[in-house]
A and B are shown apart, each in its own frame.
Chain A
Amino acid sequence: MTWLRGHFFDVLSLAGQHIYLAGVPLVLGLLIALPLGWLACRYRVLYPFLIIGTGLLYTIPSLALFIMLPLLLGTRILDPINVLIAMTIYTVALLVRTVADGLGSVPDVVNQAATAMGYKRVRRFMSVELPLAVPVISAGLRVAAVSNVSIVSVATLIGVSQLGSLFIDGFNRAFMDPILVGVVACVLLALLFDLAILGGTRLLTPWQRAGKASS
Chain B
Amino acid sequence: MIRFDAVSKQFPDGTRAVDQLTFEAPTGKITVLVGPSGCGKTTSLRMINRMIKPTGGRIWIDDQDTAEMDEAQLRRGIGYVIQHAGLFPHRTIVSNIATVPMLLGWDKRKAEVRALELLERVGLPTSYAKRYPAQLSGGQQQRVGVARALAADPPVMLMDEPFSAVDPIVREQLQDEFLRLQGDLGKTIVFVTHDIEEAIKLGDQVAVLRDGGNLAQLTDPAHLLAHPIDDFVADFVGRDRGYRSLSFQKSPRFPLALESSVPLGATPAQAVSAARDGWVLVIDADRRPLGWIEPGRITAPIRPEMLRRGGTVARAGGPLRNALDAALSSPSRRGVIVDDEGALLGTIRAYEVLAEIEERARPELDEADLERAGLQPIEETPG
Contacts and interface: CB of A to CB of B under 8 A. Distances in A.
Given A109-B82, A116-B49, A118-B76, A205 B90 contact: yes
B164 to A, nearest CB: 13
Contact of B80 (A116, A207, A210, A214): A116
A110 B145 CA distance: 12
Interface string B128-149: 0001101100000000000010
Nearest to B136: A214
B44 interface: no
Contacts of B82: 109, 112-113, 116
Contacts, number: 71
Interface residues of B, number: 27
B100 A117 contact: yes
Interface string B82-93: 111011111100
Contacts of A120: 72
A211 B49 contact: no
B104 to A, nearest CB: 8
Interface in A7-56: none
A101 to B, nearest CB: 17
B88 A118 contact: no
Contacts of B76: 117-118
B75 interface: yes
B90 A112 contact: no
A128 interface: yes
Nearest to B49: A116
Given A118-B73, A120-B72, A109 B135 contact: no
SS class, residues of chain A in contact with chain B: helix
A114 interface: yes
A134 B177 CA distance: 37
A69 B47 CA distance: 53
A75 interface: no
Given A109-B82, A115-B51, A207 B72 contact: no
A172 interface: no
A140 interface: no
A129 to B, nearest CB: 10
B188 interface: no
B49 A110 contact: no
Contacts of A2: none
Given A118-B100, A132-B90, A112 B51 contact: yes
Given A119-B72, A123-B103, A211-B89, 6 more contacts: A116-B158, A117-B99, A210-B132, A210-B134, A211-B132, A214-B135
Interface of B: 49, 51, 72-76, 78, 80, 82-84, 86-91, 99-100, 103, 131-132, 134-135, 148, 158
Interface of A: 107, 109-110, 112-120, 123, 128, 131-132, 205-207, 210-211, 213-215
Sorted from nearest, which 10 A-B pairs have the closest CB atoms? A211-B134, A113-B86, A118-B76, A118-B75, A109-B86, A116-B80, A210-B132, A214-B135, A207-B132, A207-B90
